[in-house]
Amino acid sequence: MASLDAPRWRRRPTLLLLAVLLAAVWYYGLVIGPRAAVPLLPPHTLTQNLDHLRKHVQTPQFTYAQRMIRAKPFVGERPDLTVVDDEPLFPDAETLDKTGAKIDKPAGGSIRSRAQFPLLPPLELLVPESPKVNTSIISFGVATPVARLKESSAQFVHWLNGSEAPMYIVSPPDDKTVQMQSYMRDLGIDAKIETSRVRYPLAYFSLIKRLYETRQPHTKWLALIDDDTFLPSLPTLVEHLTTTYNAEKQTMVSAMSDNVEQIQTWGVQAFGGGGIFVSIPLAARLTQPEIWDKCIDHAKGRSQGDQIISRCLNTFTDIRPMFDAGLHQMDILGLGETPSGYFESGRRMLTVHHWRTWFKVDIPQSIQVSKACGSEGLFQRWAFPRSNMVLSNGYSIAEYPKGLNEIDFAAVEKTWQGEEAKFLHKIGPLRNPVGRDKISYRLVASEVVDKWYVRQTYLYKGDKLVGEEQEMDEVLELLWLL
């Protein structure tokens, strides 16, 4: 029997248990509850937040569906395609008018009411963690006018901000050089801009010597890229170079053009837009006066910087570049759907070139989702058989009304101009465009909302008549929880 002098909590254990339960309920309501509840917005609040769609939706009515996603990190290889069998990507779509009101069509007529969206629980998708690597082993070089740097800064921030990799930039003289360097430093980019009146091809080639002269003891690779070269994940690139190639030897790793016509024009050479990576031992050899001076003299009349590098290597050394399939030059042209097959392939891309020159992909919009899923989840691909949909994260959602079983997702859908044979050496296997048997919702907006989630807006533009009526625009939105 308990002593009368025992503390109250020993005499009444149920009171202690009750206190613990009340504390847990309080903690959940104050700390955990709001964080979980805020993204699951009440339907009337969600309806009011559809104003951001006005600039994208053009038809009087449109369909709308939404889903929340939580990225779950894992350690391992990134698959080209992950199949999610157990649930659809979206609930049934609702039809709205441009005010955000729901269109109901009961017997006896049409009425308007505030939309009550069916909300499925947040979808959990597996995303690989970035490898833990030392990014300072690469030093980057770019030759470009100062005026173009601001256009490139958003994508530079994605893969350089917070890294230990420096960037050396050579530009023609410009009054805004100091201002631009300060701007890039404020963005977290370790950039050094040097001005030169040397013509662009020679300035590009000279980056090898400048990067070599400014190397640090831990520098292993000198990387030459263009201002429209995008790296989805710098840690993945570093890990790939480290595990695949020997930086202690005289080594050059580069992109090969994916278009045979470019190879016929320029020859079998390193293509700089996809990236050229020079080991320190090779840079030491190339910058010796007996080789460097000859290469500079040999460069006269050459119109491309990467052409000068390749001619220098081939003419004055016995070293040849190793072409890496993960470095993407992307010499592709066409109209409308030009790059969609590439970006919907699910393949891991170490570099992406020409995204704002030969074709248009809004990389600054695409990369926003990495704030929620990390850089490895960008352009990752998931298939949802119950919805007949495939999500290519940050690029598109493709719906296949006839089902997914007949699609060879291991092959890249060829959506650009040119004969298939001109691209097989780099991109193959290829498959024919699906055409009208595929409905493409393209990413048109992406932004962080209220510090809770990244909202991706994917839009299908109604472009044909259904009977006598204009086809409606269709909107799908993903809310990636932060």
Instruction: Give yes or no for a contact between 245 and 352, defined as CB atoms under 8 angstroms apart.
Output: no
Q: What is the pairing mode between strands 167-171 and 138-143?
A: parallel
Residues 177 and 269 in one domain: yes
Nearest alpha-carbon partner for 204 in 294, 288, 296: 296
Q: What is the pLDDT of residue 118?
A: 63
Q: What is the pLDDT of residue 298?
A: 84
Say which residue the tokens 């009961």 belong to: 106
Residues 291 and 177 in one domain: yes
Q: Which H or E run includes 314?
A: helix 305-316
Which of 313, 328, 343 terminates a domain? The answer is 328
Q: What is the pLDDT of residue 50?
A: 83
Structural domain count of the chain:
3
Is residue 404 classed exposed, middle or buried when 0-12, 13-18 and 19+ CB atoms within 10 A define those classes? middle
Is the pLDDT at 72 greater than 50? The verdict is yes
Q: What is the pLDDT of residue 33?
A: 41
Residue 407 placed within a domain: yes
Is the pLDDT at 46 greater than 60? The verdict is no
Average pLDDT over residues 255-266: 93
Q: Tell me how far apart the alpha carbons of residues 307 and 303 are, in angstroms, rounded to a whole number.
A: 8
Average pLDDT over residues 354-374: 93
Residue 1 placed within a domain: no
Residues 259 and 171 in one domain: yes
Q: What is the pLDDT of residue 410?
A: 96
Q: What is the pLDDT of residue 9?
A: 32
Residue 312 placed within a domain: yes
Is the pLDDT at 30 greater than 70? The verdict is no
Is the pLDDT at 29 greater than 70? The verdict is no
Which parts of 329-470 fold into alpha helices (H)? Answer: 340-343, 363-366, 370-373, 424-427
Residue 436 lies in domain: 44-129+333-482
Which of 293, 328, 363 terminates a domain? The answer is 328
Coil/strand/helix, residue 415: coil
Residue 3 placed within a domain: no
Q: What is the pLDDT of residue 335?
A: 62
Lowest-confidence range among 252-256, 355-359, 362-366, 478-482?
A: 355-359
Cα–Cα distance list, 191 to 178, 206, 375 (Å): 11, 17, 21
Lowest-confidence range among 108-112, 149-153, 191-195, 370-374?
A: 108-112
Split at pLDDT 50, 70, 90, the class of 23 is very low
Given CA atoms 186, 190, 195, 200 in this order, what sign does their dihedral have? negative
Q: How many CB atoms lie within 10 A of CB 172?
A: 17
Residues 293 and 431 in one domain: no
Q: Tell me how far apart the alpha carbons of residues 348 and 442 are, in angstroms, rounded to a whole number.
A: 20
Residue 162 placed within a domain: yes
Residues 150 and 103 in one domain: no
Backbone angles phi, psi at 205, to 5 degrees: -60, -40
Q: What is the pLDDT of residues 145-197, one digit of tens each?
A: 999 998 899 899 999 998 999 999 999 999 999 999 999 999 999 999 999 99
Q: What is the pLDDT of residue 101?
A: 67
CATH number at 279 reads: 3.90.550.50
Q: What is the pairing mode between strands 430-431 and 396-399?
A: unpaired
Residues 250 and 307 in one domain: yes
Q: What is the pLDDT of residue 331?
A: 92
Residue 453 placed within a domain: yes
Side chain identity, residue 87: E
Q: Tell me how far apart the alpha carbons of residues 120 and 127 are, in angstroms, rounded to a whole number.
A: 21
Residues 180 and 290 in one domain: yes
Residue 235 placed within a domain: yes
Residues 48 and 194 in one domain: no
Q: What angle do CA 384, 117, 403 make, to 5 degrees?
A: 20
Instruction: Give yes or no for a contact between 379 and 400, defined as CB atoms under 8 angstroms apart.
Output: no
Residue 344 placed within a domain: yes
Cα–chain-centroid distance for residue 117? 30
Residues 175 and 307 in one domain: yes
Residues 103 and 252 in one domain: no
Average pLDDT over residues 328-336: 83
Q: What is the pLDDT of residue 384?
A: 98
Residues 205 and 312 in one domain: yes
pTM, rounded to two decimals: 0.86
Residues 165 and 258 in one domain: yes
Cα–Cα distance list, 458 to 39, 165, 274, 394, 479 (Å): 19, 34, 28, 9, 11
